[in-house]
Amino acid sequence: MAAFDCVIRGGEVFVSQALVRCDIGIRDGRIVALGEHLDAGDEEIDASGRWVLPGGVDAHCHLDQPMSDGAVMADNFETGTRSAVCGGTTTVIPFACQFKGQSVWAAIEDYHQRASQQSYADYAFHLIVSDPTPTVLQDELPRAIAEGYTSFKIYMTYEDMKLNDRQILETLMVAKSAGAIVMVHAENADCIDWLTELLESAGHTTPEYHAKARPSAVEREATHRAITFSELVDVPILIVHVSGAEAIEQIDWARRRGLNIFAETCPQYVFLTSDHLHDPEGCGHKFICSPPPRDQANQKVVWNGLRTGTFQVFSSDHAPFNLDDPKGKALHGKNASFSKIPNGIPGLETRLPLLFSAGVTQGQLSLARFVNLTSTYPARLYGLFPQKGVIAIGADADFAIWDPHATWTIANADLHHAVDYTPYEGITVTGRVTETVIRGRVVQRDGRLLVEKGSGQFLRCHAPDFDLM
Ligand code: DUC
Ligand code: ZN
Ligand code: ZN
């Protein structure tokens, strides 16, 4: 019998925050040896000339999420996670969304059915809390947290989701007492509604007005308010999809005051600008997401935040809607006002290569920062570490094996999601994940799936680790 089920040999492996040349011995899906000249495995993977990094953890993506307006996401768990693993992501954390009037457990059960036997990647769930009734607060959430759903997202905007200030405070209290992390979508709903009405009544309905209806000030105000609630309740929070300088200023200010505020940003805030919404060929709806992409000056500030530690998490916020689909971006017709276009863009497969290329290859980010932002810190914050997010003895054998020198051009035709476009079409990147390994099994090689759907496992999350720095 061979010493290992699998040995990954000859690569440069990311261990203890740096690349070292060593072999990896895997048994029963976990890393059991790191060293030179390991004995043979039943299976051998030759990683020479390549970098072996922890598999990516995409901690913010929407898959098969029912929408209250009737829109239908293009990706389910099969197609979304197929795309994720082909981009080097081995764990996804999508959302089980509670609709108003629904119990949290009904939402959790629904999402288990959607994911069961479908996923290529391992997966956990965040909850979306849209109806914090006394039963939800006193009974359902504490029980859900105890059973491994230790993070939930709340919204300060979107009619069907938003909580008022009192509800936010009460939800934060539950997170504090039961040991969860709350992710906050920070945009001021009334300001957006008011601006939208003004713009639409003046006849301004094309996609570029989406950004004008959701300017930085509405994000700044809500970010500040969320920080204030976190301070009052004395519980850490994470601000999701931070788009630019004004929200960053609030987050940095809060940290200087000693508050434990975490922050996430996404590819759309460093690779897109609001100019993309202004498309003379009428394709601006491709780029409608909230908060909207800002301008180049804001992109620079977000890059700076990625480099210097404002951000702990870099997620895709994959929210996939087809363009020419009456259930997708064209839900209300191709010429509908910006306010009627489903929000969200795809990005599960392109998240890692985009950041690797513009960050690591081009010298804007250290490799350690890249790995922390895309794998280790999300695993820690969301209670999956050290099973996920690290290459260490005892951790799951989840790897993205990179050719750091491969140069390629992103084309939707080559991606593995079920969405009919990518907002990153035509961008040339250097660095490509050639193989993805989950619990010791090669799940994709050069874009070819080697396992059946359903090989991904559900993960229960532990308490968040707030001690990242
Ligand atoms: N904004 C969100 O808050 N969620 C999904 C997509 C989007 O654009
Ligand atoms: Zn959001
Ligand atoms: Zn989202």
For atom 6 of ligand 1, which residue has the closest CA?
A: 344
Q: How far apart are CA 379 and CA 383, in angstroms?
A: 6
Share of the chain above pLDDT 90, in %: 98
Q: Which of 95, 88, 102 is nearest to 124 (CA)?
A: 95
**pLDDT, mean of residues 131-138:** 98
pLDDT bin (cut points 50, 70, 90) of residue 281 is: confident
Helix (H) or strand (E) holding 233: helix 216-233
Per-residue tokens: 408: 């390629």
For residues 439, 443, 445, 450, the Cα torsion angle rounded to the nearest 10 degrees is 140
Instruction: Tell me what the pLDDT averaged over the chain comes to.
Output: 97
What digits encode the pLDDT tens for the residues 443-466? 999 999 999 999 999 999 999 999
Coil, helix or strand for 466? coil
The residue count for the chain: 469
Q: Is 351 in contact with 58 (CB distance < 8 Å)?
A: yes
Quote the pLDDT of residue 1. Answer: 81
What does the alpha-carbon distance between residue 416 and residue 99 come to, in Å, rounded to a whole number? 30
Q: How far is the CA of 241 from the centre of ligand 2 (A)?
A: 7
Confidence at residue 58, expressed as pLDDT on a 0 to 100 scale: 99
What's the average model confidence in pLDDT over 287-307?
Answer: 98
pTM, two decimals, is 0.98
* Residue that is written with structure tokens 């940290």 in the block: 255
Q: Determine if ligand 1 sits within 6 Å of the CB of residue 62.
A: yes
Residue 466, Cβ density class (10 Å: 0-12 exposed, 13-18 middle, ≥19 buried):
middle
Structure tokens at 468: 């990242």
Residue 358: CB within 6 Å of ligand 1? no
Place of tokens 């006394």: 134
Gap between the Cα atoms of 191 and 184, Å rounded: 17
**289 pocket-lining for ligand 1 (C-beta < 6 Å):** yes
For residue 367, what are its two tokens? Answer: 């490799």
Q: Which domains does the chain have, with CATH numbers?
A: 56-373 (3.20.20.140)
Task: Band the pLDDT of 159: cuts 50, 70, 90.
Answer: very high
Sheet containing 23-27, strands listed edge to edge, beginning at the edge strand earlier in sequence? 30-35, 23-27, 4-9, 41-46
Residue pLDDT, tens place only, 19-55: 999 999 999 999 999 999 999 999 999 999 999 999 9
* Ligand 2 is an ion; residues with CB less than 5 A from it: 185
Q: What are 173's strand-pairing partners?
A: none
pLDDT confidence bin for 469, thresholds 50/70/90: low
Instruction: Compute, in angstroms, the gap from residue 319 CA to the centroid of ligand 1.
Output: 7
CB of 317 within 6 A of ligand 1: the answer is: yes
pLDDT in tens, 172-190: 999 999 999 999 999 999 9
Cα(343) to ligand 2 centroid in Å equals 9
Nearest atom, ligand 1, residue 62 CA: 5
Query: 185 in ligand 1 pocket by Cβ < 6 Å?
Result: yes
Q: Is residue 282 very low, low, confident or very high in pLDDT (cuts 50, 70, 90)?
A: confident
Q: What is the pLDDT of residues 346-391, one digit of tens each?
A: 999 999 999 999 999 999 999 999 999 999 999 999 999 999 999 9
Name the β-bridge partners of 399: 54, 437
